[in-house]
Structure formats: C-alpha cells, structure tokens
Amino acid sequence: MNWLDYLFEQSAAGRFEYDSESKTENDLDLQEWYALCKEGSSQWSVPVERAIVDGYFSASVGYVFASGYQWTLRALLSNKPLSTKPLSNRPLVDPEAIVAFCVTESGGNRPSAVKSSLVKKGDGFCLNGEKTFITGAKEAEILLVAASIGEKDGRNQLKLAVVDAKQQGVDITIKPPMSFMPVVSHGEATFDNVMIDTSLVLDGDAYTDYVKPMRTIEDIYVFATLFGYLFKLSRQYQFPEEVTQDILQVLLAYVQLAGMDTLSPSTHIALAGAENLAETVVASMKPHWQKLPEDLQAHWVRDKALMSIGTSAKIKRLETAWQSFS
C-alpha cells in the first residue's frame, strides 16, 4: 500500500494519532514522540514518505516540525559518503538516532562566522568552540558540528564532525521555550577539547555539501510534514473535498521535489512555485478553521509562523536561481 492510500485508510477508520497508551500526543515530550514515529512510519523506507506519515499523526505544528527536521537530516545524509574508511559499511549515524545540526555561532552561520575548530591531533581531531542555536538540543543524541580546519586562499574551510552528545567535553545548555512551537527545544553547546576519530569527520566541504543543501531539504521536508498534518485535519474535521484535493496536490509536489538535486537552480524555482501553492491552499482553509477545537485553532495561530521562516533567504535563493538562466 502506498502512503497516500494508507492515510485515506487511516482517516476512514478514524485513526488520527499514533497509539501512545494512556497519553494523548499533546502530553508527549519529544523523546516519547520520536519513539512513536520510529515505529509508526517504519513500513516506509523513503524519508519524505515517512515525514508525511509522521505529519499526519502529529498533534500540532510543533510535533510536525520536530519530525520534519529529523527527516531533513536523514535525507541530507542518505546520499553522502559517511566514512573516510572505504571498507566500512556501517553508517556513522544511527538511522534512528535523534540528530541536531550545529552551525550557528555568535557571528551567524556564514562560513566566515564559524570559529569552532577541528585541529589534527594524533590519529584524530580535537574539536573546540561553541554553537549558539541548536534545534532539538534537549533530545539530541548525535550532533553534526560544522567546524573550521583553517583557511585556504583566504577562505574558511569547514568540515562536519559527528559528535556524541554525551561525549566528554560536550556541554549543552537548554534555552527557555520559544514563543511558538514551544514543544521544540533549543539550546547552545560548548566543545572543550572533544576528541573526534578521523572516520567521524565527514568527507567533503561542510558548507557546500551539507549546510547549503540542508536549507533546501528542510524547506521541502518540513512543508511535506506540515501538509501531512493539514491533510489529517481536513479529513478529521470534514473540510470540503476540494480543499483536501488541493492539499494532496501540494503533498505530491513536495514528494517530487524531494527526489531532485537540491543544489540545482531549477529545483529552487520549482520549490518557490510549490511554496506559493502551499500558501494559497492554506489561505483557502481559513473559512474552515472554526470546525477545529479551540485548542487546535490556538495552536495554529501561534505556530503558523513556521511557514514564514527564512523568507528573506528564500527570496535571495530564488533570485540567484533565475539569474543562472538569464
């Protein structure tokens, strides 16, 4: 059964949440939510399909983002050379581990702003520095840390290191909840002489091969997860069939985008079109929100800002994409 037939089957049977024993999903912390997702969407192997299924079963936009973010990182790593040891077939990142992407520092997230360092020491590297904004910091088991290995031709050269969050020398501080999606934790971390095996420093340039595609993949996967959630609401609260059909068009667009080259200008142009369609569909849903319980309406009003995150960066990315064809 494909993911779409499955969701229609679930909605017809009145199943709108993962089985969480005596708790409702609104009572779950993210650690418990991730455990449900591991089991609930495990029959699908394609990350974007798992993201959509997790979105369908989400209780609110906060859980949507938490799942979409994890599937973003799975997609980011899925086609990358994860080891410098050619004979190793063991993935460096557990496919079911909770992962956090650590780039931003006090000066921002541009390559020149990254001051954390990876210095060769013996058979490995020594990691020092700090990260000031880490999504999922409370739950993270694995940290993907961008750090400098020095300059070349006047440019900061970055590598991505796989770091155990409980490793000696790693200190994570959790920040107060944000004003929207408060279920999603954020924090900061310091790294004090953290020893990293050479095999845990990923091949390629951290910015070109990971940070840049991460931004595009996140836009695709978070919106796919979100529209899985909106599909659930449209079925659970009996929105007009035309609205549900439009939601499915958005979902199918994001499934298609998930298989495209995330660094290609044409992908960015198509993604902008999908985002415009997504905004139009959400606007068409406005007359039907009163069908939802008051708490869900309040959650949506609070958390819908998710759709506007990174707007200026998206505009610049789209302009650059069109310029490449002029």
Regarding whether 195 and 122 lie in a shared domain, the answer is yes
Regarding whether 197 and 120 lie in a shared domain, the answer is yes
Q: Look at residue 80 in the predicted model and tell me its pLDDT.
A: 57
| Contacts of residue 205, Cβ cutoff 8 Å, sequence gap at least 6 | 157, 158, 159
Which of 180, 203, 226 corresponds to the end of one domain?
A: 203
Question: Which residue in this structure is represented by tokens 């951290």?
Answer: 206
Tally of domains within the chain: 2
Residue 95, CA atoms < 13 Å, CB-side half-sphere: 12
Q: Is 199 domain-assigned?
A: yes
Regarding whether 157 and 226 lie in a shared domain, the answer is no
CATH, residue 174: 2.40.110.10
Which of 203, 236, 269 corresponds to the end of one domain?
A: 203
C-alpha–C-alpha distance, residues 66 and 73, integer Å = 11
On the question of pLDDT at 92 being above 70, the answer is no
Q: Is 310 domain-assigned?
A: yes
Regarding whether 251 and 316 lie in a shared domain, the answer is yes
Regarding whether 123 and 198 lie in a shared domain, the answer is yes
Confidence of residue 215 (pLDDT cuts 50, 70, 90): very high
C-alpha–C-alpha distance, residues 104 and 132, integer Å = 6
Q: What's the whole-model pTM score?
A: 0.92
On the question of pLDDT at 86 being above 80, the answer is no
Residue 228 belongs to domain spanning: 3-75+210-323
Q: Is 63 domain-assigned?
A: yes
User: For 275-282, what is the mean pLDDT?
Assistant: 96
Q: Is 19 domain-assigned?
A: yes
Regarding whether 317 and 261 lie in a shared domain, the answer is yes
* Longest pairwise C-alpha distance within the chain: 64
Which of 203, 222, 255 corresponds to the end of one domain?
A: 203
Regarding whether 193 and 125 lie in a shared domain, the answer is yes
On the question of pLDDT at 24 being above 80, the answer is no
Regarding whether 198 and 223 lie in a shared domain, the answer is no
